[in-house]
A and B are shown apart, each in its own frame.
Chain A
Amino acid sequence: MKKIIFCFTSALISCSILLISCQKDIPNYVEFEAYEWSGTDPNGGTWKTILDIDPSTISIPSPQLSGTPEYRASLDDLAAKTNNLTSSQKQSIQYWTNNPTIRWNEIARSLAAKYNLAPAPNEQGQYPGPDPANPDQYPLFPFAHPPYACRAFAYLSASQFDALVVSWHHKSVHTQAEHADVDARINLAFPKSGYSPYPSDGAAVTATSLAILKAMFPLEHAYLDAKAAEMYQVLEWSGQNTQSDIAAGKLIGQDIAQRYLQRASSDGMRQAQTNRTVSDSIKNAAFQRFGWQWENLEAPQRPVGIAPKYGKVRTWFVPDVTQIRPGPPPAPGSAEFAEAVRELESVQKNLTNEQRKIANWWSDGLSSYTPPGHWNRLACDYIIGDRLNPLRTARVLAYMNTAIMDAGIACWDVKYYYHYPRPSQAVVGFKTILGIPNFPSYTSGHSTFSSAAAETLAHLFPQKGNEARAWAREAAESRIYAGIHFRFDSEVGIDQGKKVSEFVIARAQTDGAQ
Chain B
Amino acid sequence: MFRNLIFFGLFWLACVKISAQTHLDEILMKKSQLCIAGIGTLDTWDRYWEGTLLRPNGNIGDLNRTTYNFMAAYGLSSRLNLLVNVPYLRTEATQGQLRGVSGFQDVSAFLKYQVIEKRGTAGKFSLLASGGFSTPMTNYLPDYAPLNLGLGSQELSARAIAHFITNDGWFARTTVGYLHRTFAEIERDYYYTDIDHYSAFVDVPDALHTNIMVGKWLIDEVFRTEIGYERLQTLDGHDIRRQDVGFPSNKMESSRIGLGVQYYPPSNTGFGFVAQYWQTFAGRNMGKSQIYMLGVTYQFFTQKTNI
* A residues lining the B interface (CB < 8 Å): 1, 4-5, 8-9, 12, 15-16, 19, 22-23, 26-30, 106, 109-110, 113-114, 117-121, 138-139, 297-300, 348, 353, 356-357, 360-361, 363, 366-369, 374, 377, 424, 430-433, 435-436, 483
CA A119 – CA B243 in complex, angstroms?
A: 7
Establish whether residues B98 and A433, one from each chain, have CB atoms under 8 Å apart when the complex forms: yes
Given A15-B156, A117-B242, A361-B188, A432 and B198 touching (CB < 8 A)?
no
Residues of chain B within 8 A (CB-CB) of A138 are 242
Residue among B59, B156, B192, B202 making CB contact with A114, cutoff 8 Å: B192
B131 to chain A, nearest CB (A): 6
A128 to chain B, nearest CB (A): 12
Q: Is B234 an interface residue (CB 8 A)?
A: no
Report whether over half of chain A's contact residues are helix, strand or loop; otherwise say mixed: loop
A424 to chain B, nearest CB (A): 5
Establish whether residues A432 and B133, one from each chain, have CB atoms under 8 Å apart when the complex forms: no
CA A287 – CA B143 in complex, angstroms?
A: 38
Residues of chain B within 8 A (CB-CB) of A436 are 97
B44 to chain A, nearest CB (A): 18
CB-nearest residue of chain B to A429: B97
Residues of chain B within 8 A (CB-CB) of A8 are 82, 109, 111
Q: Is B281 an interface residue (CB 8 A)?
A: no
CB-nearest residue of chain B to A432: B97
Residue among B59, B96, B183 making CB contact with A22, cutoff 8 Å: B183
Residues of chain B within 8 A (CB-CB) of A118 are 243
Establish whether residues B96 and A299, one from each chain, have CB atoms under 8 Å apart when the complex forms: yes
* B residues lining the A interface (CB < 8 Å): 31, 58-59, 76-77, 80, 82, 95-100, 109, 111, 131, 133, 139, 141, 143-144, 154, 156, 180, 182-183, 186-192, 195-199, 201-203, 241-245
CB-nearest residue of chain B to A121: B58
CA A74 – CA B256 in complex, angstroms?
A: 67
CA A28 – CA B241 in complex, angstroms?
A: 19
Establish whether residues B242 and A120, one from each chain, have CB atoms under 8 Å apart when the complex forms: yes
CA A30 – CA B180 in complex, angstroms?
A: 28
Establish whether residues B59 and A360, one from each chain, have CB atoms under 8 Å apart when the complex forms: no
Residues of chain A within 8 A (CB-CB) of B109 are 8
Establish whether residues A353 and B143, one from each chain, have CB atoms under 8 Å apart when the complex forms: no
Residue among B99, B144, B244 making CB contact with A431, cutoff 8 Å: B99
Report whether over half of chain B's contact residues are helix, strand or loop; otherwise say mixed: loop
CA A297 – CA B80 in complex, angstroms?
A: 56
- Additional 10 contacts, C-beta under 8 A, given A15-B154, A28-B198: A22-B183, A117-B244, A298-B58, A299-B59, A360-B143, A366-B245, A367-B244, A431-B98, A431-B99, A433-B144
Given A23-B182, A138-B242, A1 and B97 touching (CB < 8 A)?
no
Residue among A15, A361, A374, A431 making CB contact with B133, cutoff 8 Å: A15
Residue among B59, B192, B245 making CB contact with A113, cutoff 8 Å: B192
Establish whether residues A22 and B182, one from each chain, have CB atoms under 8 Å apart when the complex forms: yes
Residues of chain A within 8 A (CB-CB) of B196 are 28-29, 106, 109-110, 113
B178 to chain A, nearest CB (A): 13
Residue among A1, A12, A30, A377 making CB contact with B76, cutoff 8 Å: A1
Establish whether residues B187 and A367, one from each chain, have CB atoms under 8 Å apart when the complex forms: no
Establish whether residues A12 and B131, one from each chain, have CB atoms under 8 Å apart when the complex forms: yes
Residues of chain B within 8 A (CB-CB) of A119 are 243
Establish whether residues B182 and A4, one from each chain, have CB atoms under 8 Å apart when the complex forms: no
CA A141 – CA B191 in complex, angstroms?
A: 21
Establish whether residues A9 and B111, one from each chain, have CB atoms under 8 Å apart when the complex forms: yes
Establish whether residues A368 and B76, one from each chain, have CB atoms under 8 Å apart when the complex forms: no
Establish whether residues B76 and A360, one from each chain, have CB atoms under 8 Å apart when the complex forms: no
A214 to chain B, nearest CB (A): 19
Residues of chain B within 8 A (CB-CB) of A356 are 141, 187
Establish whether residues A27 and B199, one from each chain, have CB atoms under 8 Å apart when the complex forms: yes
CA A432 – CA B99 in complex, angstroms?
A: 6
Establish whether residues B95 and A27, one from each chain, have CB atoms under 8 Å apart when the complex forms: no
CB-nearest residue of chain A to B187: A360
